[in-house]
Amino acid sequence: MKVVIHLLSQGVCVVGFIGVTGDISDDSVQDRAVGVARSLGDIVGIVNNAAIVNKGNVINVTTSSTSQAPVPAFGPYGVTKVSLNYVSKAISVEYPEITCLAFYPGVVDTNMNQDAIDAKLAHPISADLPGRIIANLALRASHELTGQYYVYSDSAMAPYST
């Protein structure tokens, strides 16, 4: 049995993407557009491979909760996350033979998140849980999950956590 895994982790560069939406300069608009285009280009490449060649699963690991609710000073950054979640939904319609979903692993206890953890802005979790979920989704995600956004703690993720 051949197992094909397609995993996409989108961590669009934070540097330059943080700022109040109304304060976006002409230069930063171009930088943000390039960042979004690169991210979407990555998805297109993986989806083309999954759809045409291998019929694999596509797990879009969206690394921020800003795709679900606005956060002050994160407007431009949040737009990149929302667009990636939308692409996951579009893939489910355009390529119905692919299982494609967006997954938010939570605030994982890493050095990258240390400032938020220290400021008590987040409750970190061990990387083990989202890591297991991502691996299991890549291997055996139910097609019923396609086109949706899931958080590591959602009940639909429970079968993938062990």
Domain limits, the chain = 5-160
pLDDT digits (tens, 9 = 90+) for 54-68: 666 777 777 677 777
Helix, coil or strand: residue 19: coil
pLDDT of residue 51: 56
Cα separation of 122 and 120, whole Å? 5
Helix (H, G, I), strand (E, B) or coil at 58: strand
CB 35 within 8 A of CB 80: yes
Answer yes or no: are the C-beta atoms of 81 and 62 closer than 8 Å.
Answer: yes
Q: List, for the chain, all residue ranges whose pLDDT scores fall below the cut of 70.
A: 1-56, 63, 76, 112-113, 116-117, 119-122
124: tokens are: 């970190």
Write down the pLDDT at residue 28.
Answer: 59
The residues, any chain, with a CB within 8 Å of residue 152's CB and separated by 6 or more, are 103, 104, 105, 106, 125, 129, 130, 133, 161
pLDDT score, position 54: 62
Helices 75-94 + 26-48 axis angle, to 10: 30
Sheet strands side by side (includes 149-151): 5-10, 57-62, 99-104, 149-151
* Residue matched to tokens 């220290």: 118
pTM exceeds 0.85, yes or no: no
Residue 16: per-residue pLDDT: 43
Closest CA to 6 of 49, 79, 58: 58
Nearest to 64 by CA among 161, 154, 151: 151
5-160: which CATH number, 3.60.21.10, 3.10.350.10, 3.40.50.720, 3.90.850.10? 3.40.50.720
